[in-house]
């Protein structure tokens, strides 16, 4: 009985990470302040995020000994820290913070990446999101 009570208390005190599968329009609303940042339009961001993470905040991709986290697929070698590899942690944040539904820190780090690496950090952008962007607009905004 004591084990059950302990588990219940732990579950209440430390809730699970709240991940979110966004829709195009929900994400457009949340990311509206990124429109035009670094000359990247909101439809470009929406398209790029769709192709790299499917609008899913809990997306984790393992690639060539590193891991990419969240909507923006932020890499653990340079931008965030986890317990897998030594990181420069340029954004000064734990990688697991990119797996929740609060995109504030994700957007701050994405802007830092854009400032340092440019939009080509996200390979999907050039290949899939640099033209014909009407389908990525949200009419509900």
The verdict on whether residue 101 carries a ligand-binding annotation is: no
Burial of 26 (0-12, 13-18, 19+ CB in 10 A): middle
Does residue 54 lie in a domain region? Answer: yes
Does residue 3 lie in a domain region? Answer: no
The verdict on whether residue 120 carries a ligand-binding annotation is: no
Does residue 91 lie in a domain region? Answer: yes
Does residue 5 lie in a domain region? Answer: no
Does residue 2 lie in a domain region? Answer: no
The verdict on whether residue 100 carries a ligand-binding annotation is: yes
**pLDDT (0 to 100) of residue 14:** 39
**pLDDT (0 to 100) of residue 13:** 36
pLDDT tens-place string over residues 10-41: 333 334 456 789 999 999 999 999 999 999 99
Range of the domain at 130: 18-136
Query: 92: phi > 0 → left, psi -120 to 50 → alpha, else beta; which?
Result: left
The verdict on whether residue 105 carries a ligand-binding annotation is: yes
CATH code where residue 106 lies: 1.10.530.10
Does residue 10 lie in a domain region? Answer: no
49: Cβ–Cβ under 8 A, 6 or more apart, which residues?
27, 55, 71, 72
Looking at every residue in the chain, the average pLDDT score rounds to: 87
CA distance 2 to 66: 41
Does residue 94 lie in a domain region? Answer: yes
**Would you state the structure tokens that stand for residue 98, as one six-digit string?**
């990119």
Confidence of residue 63 (pLDDT cuts 50, 70, 90): confident
**pLDDT (0 to 100) of residue 15:** 44
| Total number of domains in the chain | 1
Confidence of residue 67 (pLDDT cuts 50, 70, 90): very high
pLDDT tens-place string over residues 107-129: 999 999 999 999 999 999 999 99
Does residue 141 lie in a domain region? Answer: no
The verdict on whether residue 97 carries a ligand-binding annotation is: yes
pTM: 0.84
């Amino acid at each position: 009985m004591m084990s059950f009570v302990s588990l219940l208390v732990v579950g209440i005190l430390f809730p699970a990470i709240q991940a979110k599968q966004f829709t195009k329009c929900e994400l457009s609303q949340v990311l509206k302040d990124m429109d035009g940042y670094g000359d990247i339009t909101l439809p470009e961001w929406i398209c790029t995020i769709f192709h790299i993470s499917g609008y899913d905040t809990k997306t984790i991709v393992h690639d060539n000994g590193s891991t990419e986290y969240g909507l923006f697929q932020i890499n653990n070698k340079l931008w965030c820290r986890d317990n897998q590899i030594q990181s420069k942690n340029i954004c000064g944040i734990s990688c697991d913070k990119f797996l929740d539904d609060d995109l504030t820190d994700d957007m701050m780090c994405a802007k830092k990446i854009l400032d340092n690496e440019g939009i080509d950090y996200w390979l999907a952008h050039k290949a899939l999101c640099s033209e014909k962007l009407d389908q990525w607009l949200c009419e509900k905004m």
